[in-house]
Amino acid sequence: MSDFSNKILVTGATGMLGAHLVSELVSLGYTNIVALYRSDASKKIIPDHIQSQITWFQSDILDPDGIMEAMNGVIWVFHCAGVVSYSPDDSLSLHQVNVEGTELLLNVAIEKGIKQFCHVSSIAALGKNGKPITEDTPWEENNSTLYGKSKRWAEMAVYRANAEGLKTVIVNPSIILGPGIWDKSSPSLFTKAWNGLRFSSPGQTGFVDVRDVASFMIMAMEKDVAGEKYLLSAENISYVHLFQKIASSLGVEPPSKVAKPWMAQVIWRLEKIKSFFTRKKPLITKETAKQAFQEATFDATKSKKIGFEYRSLDKTIKEIGAVFLKTYPKNKAFGTFEN
């Protein structure tokens, strides 16, 4: 049984997953939560009534002194912080934050005698050639993205720490769906649908509700499943069907056409040229264009074997759509599920 007064550290607490994780911990009755953040502006995604029940600690994930202080008295660490990018321009930050940042946290956790450490990885760190893909699908470095490599190398650091006595668990979520900052990450899918999309890509991948990822992480820590790794995915669905469901939840028309491979090749090249002049990151890169046409199927059986049940994708999308309609059209930059 968990001690709800034990001190818990959450990195990446101002991201979509971290914010929902903090909210879930509070709703379950955990009372000693430390949330890592870098700037005051980033804290806005967490509702005010949740913010009043947590302790904020300002530090960069690469700051040894800050991390040492943040972990004082901590029993559990939930490591949600990370850089998600498929642009070659971000190769340095991907390695520094995802790999070096994780290594620093693990080393401090070992030094401080932390009881348990939950690391958020990604399906990008899994093998690609499984049908379906599972936790055990062989990984090939030359068949992985820069982002996938950084998350895989971070996993290697977690395994090393586990061998040194730190109880760890790794979760590999598929694409996480939830409300958040509407112009970033997966929440932007709803903004794109709202603004009108003519084309959707024909690829397929797995999707999972952000609340399910948060709930599973807490359950895994409570069950003390040390040394394990879990792929988290509710359903596999094509982007065509995904945008149809999103459009339906928003009451708008879905994309009417399916993109051809040659279109993606043209678009990522144009985006690269555009970014050179605007100095802004391209919306589509060579890697994301390639992924949009891949058909991947993920098998989350292992996570279900310890008693976990996922929300249906239909329910998730309808509820996110409802949050979007309450927030985005009213010029609010972000939205959250109500606890």
The DSSP-derived string for 159-185 is HHHHHTT-EEEEEEE-EEE--SBTTST
Would you say residue 186 has pLDDT above 50?
yes
CB distance 234 to 311 below 8 Å: yes
Cα(122)–Cα(147) distance, integer angstroms: 9
- Give the whole-angstrom CA distance, residue 248 versus residue 253: 7
- Per-residue pLDDT, 268: 47
Pairing of strands 204-209, 235-238: antiparallel
What pLDDT sits at residue 264?
Answer: 57
Three-class DSSP category at 221: helix
**Strand intervals (E) in the chain:** 7-11, 33-37, 55-58, 74-79, 116-120, 167-173, 175-177, 199-200, 204-209, 228-232, 235-238, 257-258
Which residues neighbour 32 within 8 Å (Cβ) at sequence distance 6 or greater?
5, 6, 7, 8, 55
Residue-level pLDDT at 216 = 98
- Identify which of 85, 121, 16 has the alpha carbon closest to the alpha carbon of residue 284: 85
Quick check: 87 and 147 in contact, CB under 8 A?
Answer: no
Answer whether residue 259 shows pLDDT above 70: no
The 10s digit of each residue's pLDDT in 139-179 is 988 888 999 999 999 999 999 999 999 999 999 999 999 99
3-class secondary structure, 9: strand
Residue 200 scores a pLDDT above 90: no
Mean per-residue pLDDT of the chain: 89
Does position 2 have pLDDT exceeding 90, yes or no?
Answer: no
Question: Domains of the chain by range and CATH?
Answer: 7-176+207-234+297-311 (3.40.50.720)
User: Residue 127: beta bridge partners?
Assistant: none
Summarize pLDDT for 37-89 with one digit per residue, the tens: 887 767 778 888 888 899 999 999 999 999 999 999 999 999 999 999 888 88
Q: How far is CA 259 from CA 44, 203, 208, in A?
A: 36, 10, 24
Task: Give mean pLDDT, residues 248-276.
Answer: 71
For 168, phi and psi rounded to 5 degrees? -125, 155
With bands split at pLDDT 50, 70 and 90, how would you rate the model's confidence at 285? low
pLDDT of residue 283: 56
For residue 5, pLDDT beyond 60: yes
Task: Kindly state the average pLDDT of the residues 244-249.
Answer: 96
pTM, rounded to two decimals: 0.92
Neighbour count for residue 119 (Cβ, 10 Å) = 28
CA separation for the pair 254, 93 (Å, rounded): 36
Burial class (CB within 10 angstroms; exposed 0-12, middle 13-18, buried 19+) of 317: buried
Q: Which tokens sit at 168?
A: 């760890």
Instruction: Please check the confidence at residue 328 and state whether its pLDDT lies above 80.
Output: yes
